[in-house]
Amino acid sequence: MSEAINFHYVVDGDDFTSAGEASVDIKRKLRQLGVDPAIIRRVSIAMYEGEVNMVIHAEGGTVDVNVYEDKIEMILSDEGPGIANVELAMKAGFSTAPDYVRSLGFGAGMGLPNMKSYTDGMEIDTKIGVGTTITMVVNLK
């Protein structure tokens, strides 16, 4: 019973067109599992922001979603440039995204704060030149 159900995704960093595919798929999977729609929305928005970040700020990466009995855990891992100042990056409106990203509809600096507000727990493990791993948890109970 306490076995987690795992979904694993590889996020392509070269192709903005596909950014968000994993989040759309997770939304469908969680619906199939019968998870509460309000929870699904929080999980999928948080993951979508993280997935788009991996494409625009890193060179893609992997996402693991673990569905436990009492929580859903998302682990987003990339080998991108890392985040120099996490506290600053977490500020609403802070963004290093270039203008072409804004012309694609992103880069308002709301992603990380949004991920934090939609989840019950978020941890950022990052090292310059090595990569970033973001772990988010949404409680089911």
Partner 1 sequence: MKIRDIKELLNAEVLCCDEELEKEVNSACGSDMMSDVLAYVKDQAVLLTGLLNPQVIRTAEMMDMVCIVFVRSKKPTKEMVELAKQLDIVVLATNLRMYEACGRLYSKGLGTLKENGEA
Residue 20 CB, nearest approach to partner 1 (Å): 4
For residues 47 and 66, is the Cβ–Cβ distance under 8 A?
A: no
Residue 140 as a binder of partner 1 (CB under 8 A): the answer is no
Which option in ligand ADP, Mg ion, partner 1, none does residue 48 bind, with CB closer than 5 to 8 A by kind?
Answer: partner 1
Q: What is the largest CA-CA distance in the chain?
A: 48
Residue 50 as a binder of Mg ion (CB under 5 A): the answer is no
Residue 17 as a binder of partner 1 (CB under 8 A): the answer is yes
| Residue placing its CB nearer to partner 1 in the complex, 9 or 131 | 9
Residue 57 as a binder of ligand ADP (CB under 6 A): the answer is yes
Q: Which of 50, 26, 22, 62 is nearest to 113 (CA)?
A: 50
3-state secondary structure of 3: coil
State the binding string over 81-110 for ligand ADP (x if CB under 6 A, else -): x-x-----x----xxxx--------xxxxx
Packing angle between helix 37-57 and helix 21-32, nearest 10 degrees?
Answer: 160
For residues 52 and 19, is the Cβ–Cβ distance under 8 A?
A: yes
